[in-house]
Amino acid sequence: MAAPTRDRVEHHPDLIYPDEYYQGIDLFNRGDYFEAHETWECLWLVSSGMEKGFLQGLIQCAVALYHYELGRYGAAKRTLERAFRRLEKVPSPFMSLSIPDFLHQMSIFFDYELSDAQAGRHRPATYPTVQLCETRRE
């Protein structure tokens, strides 16, 4: 993985964040949870304060889905619980992500899918996605 950078790129007219943030979102939304985790970790290593906690929560969500994909349902649930505790402390929206909406998606997925998977009834599902809102934090 390349060394983390703090270069800012513009992806939306009013939203400017580090390129790795957008790359991680793209990977997460494609289902490449391990790679999303690795990409966001580059940012996490050079971040501080609320941004560090926010990124750690996103990383934990990606890791929870990665564990789910590997059939490690107990690890997925534990990691998700840690992610929720961390992200619930972050003001919303943060870096243009509605925290309650994202956590709701994660919760719905795991409430239904985890119980089915543990019972051996794994089926294709609608996975959570990171959808940025247009609202900026000043």
- 39-50 CB burial, b ≥16 within 10 A, e <16: bbbbbbeebeee
pLDDT for the residue numbered 111: 78
Domains and CATH numbers, the chain: 17-118 (1.10.3450.10)
pLDDT for the residue numbered 46: 93
Residue 71 has pLDDT above 90, yes or no: no
Per-residue pLDDT tens digits for 18-43: 889 999 999 999 999 999 999 999 99
CA 110 vs CA 52, 71, 77, 80, 128: distances in Å? 24, 13, 8, 9, 10
pLDDT above 90 as % of the chain: 57
| 76/58 Cα distance (integer angstroms) | 14
pLDDT for the residue numbered 45: 94
Residue 64 has pLDDT above 90, yes or no: yes
